[in-house]
Structure 1
Amino acid sequence: MTKLKVILFVCVLSLLSASVSWAHFGMLIPDTDALSQDKRSVNLILAFAHPFERQGMELEKPNKFFVVADNEERTDLSGSLKKIDLMGHTAWHASYTPTGPGLYAFVFDPVPYKEDAENNYIRHITKVVVDGYGEGENWNTPLGLKTEIVPLTRPFGNYAGNVFQGVVMLDGEPAPFTRVEVEYYNKDGARKAPEERMVTQEVIADSNGVFTFVCPWKGWWGFAGLNADAELYKGRELELGAVIWVEMK
């Protein structure tokens, strides 16, 4: 191979490497999906990252962080956030002790993230549901968020290999044919994707906004239903992500 061909070959490889684009995910990961007499408090990590590849990004202190108890009472938790480092970037930690049994949905709404590579901003409204003392009911009730995934599969107490179904909602209505990105939180780095395109899985919601995915491994799985906001944000398109995290055991 001539010197010129070697140079061209290296340039092509560099361009291919630069074209790899992993999915972004708001991350809201509790240390349990079920509270009990032996585990009365939940610790949560808030982050923005490529979870499978464990590549972090900066997460400013969220605009909102709250918990909704039994789909009714909303409590602001933003004052409990503590800055931490996760994957080499700014993330946040919080602890919460509920006062009684019930369903607890935690939500954070971030400051939109400026993504120059895609010439847009990203706002992933992220939630996770924790069952309090085995009394978590009505887990398929919408919280009234700008965009959210309303689960059709119970979002806690699942086996690895279970199907997860949800409805992508936007402005209070099902969002038909939404692209849903799915990614595994590869916390300890034990999982390896056979090829780059398998890092992030994708499904398309049907005409009723419903999507289905089978989670093959134990651990935390993130689902992000992606739509563009009707209005620009600081002169750029704003990606609205409805994100939910579910643990498979």
Structure 2
Amino acid sequence: MNRLFAAALAATLATPAAAHFQLIYAPDPNIEAPGDVTLKLIFWHPMANGHAMDMGTPVEFFSDFRGERTDLLPSLAPITFKGADNEAAAYEATLPVRRNGDYILALTPAPYYEGGEDIYIQQITKVFFNKAGLPTGWNEPLGLPTEIVPLNKPTNILVGSTFSGQLLSGGEPVAGAEIEIEYLAAEPDMETNTAGAATVGEAPGGTLVAITDANGVFTFGIPRAGHWGFAALGSGPETEHEGKELSQDAVIWIKAYDLE
């Protein structure tokens, strides 16, 4: 059993009903007019509307537009997110949107100490916004330590279609890695920083998973409109933090729509 699969299996067994996912959230990734988009950064168990975890100060947070990067760290403001079970430290941020095209956001959070497993977790997370429907590079990698590169336009996936992504670590495809799949069952309220009402129950049989092929590619059929997250646990090159094991994960979020 390779390291990536072992790490993913251990995490899955530790959280049989739902997984922890770093979230960069705004209700709609499709933007029509110039302006500032408010974002919520939350570390949470979103499919179960479960336990939320305290975020430390992020290491890096930027947007990439046609290869030009904008540092979003100065826009961060601490908030308290209220989930169904508890409250946790989170952040609000602002994405400035001016020109038409794709805005790729990448967050490297501070490693989170998971006491139950005595390890650190760092979920390097990507999310996508688009202004006016113009594609300008959503499928380009950002050169992150580990990342999932979408192979379908991530801002308008249709329910009943599929989503594919390629997992990279150090810029190279990762074969045989387990990808955890999570639905945002309770979308955060942007005004009150609280979890909304859950729209679905937990998935039967535990965490949804897919396995990457020889080229690091996985595919998942999208059964429902809303926000879907995909995480590769332990896919990053860094394996230790402050003398303890580090699971450096790649996370990507997309949004799916019903065709009306």
TM-score, normalised via structure 2 length: 0.82
Partner of 1:244: 252
1:36-84 Cα deviation digits (max 9, x unpaired): 13x74322111111111122111112111111112x1111111111112
Q: Pick one of 210, 224, 231 that aligns with 2:231.
A: 224
Task: Provide the alpha-carbon RMSD of the alignment.
Answer: 1.8
| Structure exhibiting the larger radius of gyration computed from Cα positions | 1
1:35 aligns with 2:31: yes
CA spacing shift, 1:96–1:138, aligned 2, 3 Å = closer
For 1:242 and 1:173, how far apart are their aligned partners in 2? 13
* Letter aligned with residue 67 of structure 1: S
| Structure 2: tracts of 5 or more residues without a match | 1-12, 187-196
Partner of 1:192: 201
Conserved? CA contact 1:35–1:41, under 8 Å: no
How many residue pairs end up in the alignment? 228
Partner of 2:40: 45
1:198-220 Cα deviation digits (max 9, x unpaired): 3x211110111000111211110
Partner of 2:147: 148
Conserved? CA contact 2:42–2:91, under 8 Å: yes
For 1:19 and 1:135, how far apart are their aligned partners in 2? 42
| Structure 1: tracts of 5 or more residues without a match | 1-17
* Letter aligned with residue 225 of structure 1: A
Partner of 2:125: 126
For 1:230 and 1:135, how far apart are their aligned partners in 2? 35
Conserved? CA contact 2:238–2:248, under 8 Å: no
Conserved? CA contact 1:31–1:42, under 8 Å: no
Conserved? CA contact 1:227–1:241, under 8 Å: yes
SS at match of 1:61: coil
Identity of aligned residues (%): 36
Partner of 1:83: 78
SS at match of 2:74: helix
Kindly state the Cα deviation for residue 19 of structure 1 after the two structures are TM-superposed.
6.1
CA spacing shift, 1:242–1:194, aligned 2, 3 Å = closer
Kindly state the Cα deviation for residue 194 of structure 1 after the two structures are TM-superposed.
5.6
For 2:76 and 2:38, how far apart are their aligned partners in 1? 11
For 2:127 and 2:14, how far apart are their aligned partners in 1? 32
Partner of 1:96: 95
* Letter aligned with residue 126 of structure 2: K
Partner of 2:215: 208
For 1:152 and 1:115, how far apart are their aligned partners in 2? 32
SS at match of 2:182: strand
Partner of 2:241: 233
1:134-180 Cα deviation digits (max 9, x unpaired): 22222111010010000111111122222110000001111111110
**Higher mean Cα deviation, 162-171 or 230-239?**
230-239
For 2:182 and 2:228, how far apart are their aligned partners in 1? 6
For 2:175 and 2:155, how far apart are their aligned partners in 1? 25
Partner of 1:115: 114
Partner of 1:163: 162
Kindly state the Cα deviation for residue 240 of structure 1 after the two structures are TM-superposed.
1.4
